[in-house]
């Protein structure tokens, strides 16, 4: 049986650490890099090896996976001097799983191809629970051959994985996903706010509605956290605001009017301005609790 290829994993935050751990558990040798080494320590203790930069990690692996914070982080680790594209070994596969911009995904794919590399944009959905459980939804753009090559790793990290088209198509699919989540989170919070104001037991109301048309992934994952007053991040508000702003920019470019998306961005921006940036997206509840949702 052929040995698994070595994987460079760049970005070991809430999502990345769990995804990397699942790859290690499946037998993939890992070289890891993160801006803060402390967040990579559990992986290092489990057998991963450390690299001092993203480019160094890529120089020691056949496949490089990244999941970092913002588009400017993606641009830096891939296209910066001594970055991943500069230092990746010939023929390597590069997989960016950050939610970023379609245009940047296309630039990275072009730069990679010029060096004999293959790049995919493959953002994910499913939050911290999906990352830990290996049940993420993965949306990939890029060459079909690259997707097929990445598929064994996607099968470890995710439950659903789809090739959506050429470079940038994965990011466009993730924007559609985030637009859907934005509306769902508004509905979840407002439904529970209504139930509370009407004097219902929130746990009973949540359980009752879980069997009906109001049910959704967010309802099941975040409803209990809201009821328990747990606003720790499975997905940071600051990253969700970044995603919603990308979606708005893309919608404008496509000449689309999406008022629900714009409302969600305004409310989450307000939450971020009220010290909510480091909380989970379910903390939208706090705006409603504080009666701070006037538009």
Q: Which one is catalytic: 39, 159, 174, 196?
A: 174
Task: Give catalytic status of residue 174 as yes or no.
Answer: yes
- Tokens 């760049």, located at residue: 10
- Catalogue the active-site residues: 174
């Amino acid at each position: 049986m052929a040995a698994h290829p070595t994987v460079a994993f760049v970005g070991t935050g809430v999502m990345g650490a769990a995804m990397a751990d699942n790859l290690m558990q499946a037998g993939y040798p890992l070289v890891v890099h993160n801006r803060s080494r402390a967040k990579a320590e559990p992986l290092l203790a489990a057998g991963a090896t450390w690299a001092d930069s993203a480019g160094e990690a890529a120089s020691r692996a056949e496949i490089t996976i990244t999941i970092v914070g913002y588009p400017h982080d993606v641009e830096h680790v891939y296209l910066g001097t001594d970055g991943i594209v500069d230092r990746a070994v010939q023929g390597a596969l590069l997989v960016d799983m950050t939610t970023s911009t379609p245009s940047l995904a296309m630039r990275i794919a072009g730069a990679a191809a010029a060096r004999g590399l293959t790049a995919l944009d493959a953002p994910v959905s499913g939050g911290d629970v999906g990352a830990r459980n290996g049940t993420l939804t993965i949306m990939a753009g890029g060459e079909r051959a690259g997707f097929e090559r990445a598929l064994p790793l996607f099968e470890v990290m995710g439950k659903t994985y789809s090739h959506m088209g050429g470079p940038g198509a994965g990011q466009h699919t993730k924007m559609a996903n985030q637009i859907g989540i934005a509306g769902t989170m508004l509905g979840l919070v407002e439904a529970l706010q209504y139930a509370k104001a009407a004097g219902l037991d929130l746990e009973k109301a949540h359980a009752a509605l879980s069997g009906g048309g109001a049910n959704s992934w967010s309802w099941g994952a975040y409803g209990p956290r809201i009821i328990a007053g747990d606003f720790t991040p499975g997905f940071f508000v600051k990253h969700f605001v970044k995603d919603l702003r990308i979606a708005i920019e893309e919608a404008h470019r496509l000449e689309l009017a999406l008022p629900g998306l714009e409302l969600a961005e305004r409310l989450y921006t307000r939450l971020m301005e009220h010290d909510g940036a480091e909380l989970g997206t379910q903390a939208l509840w706090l705006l409603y609790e504080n009666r701070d949702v006037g538009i």
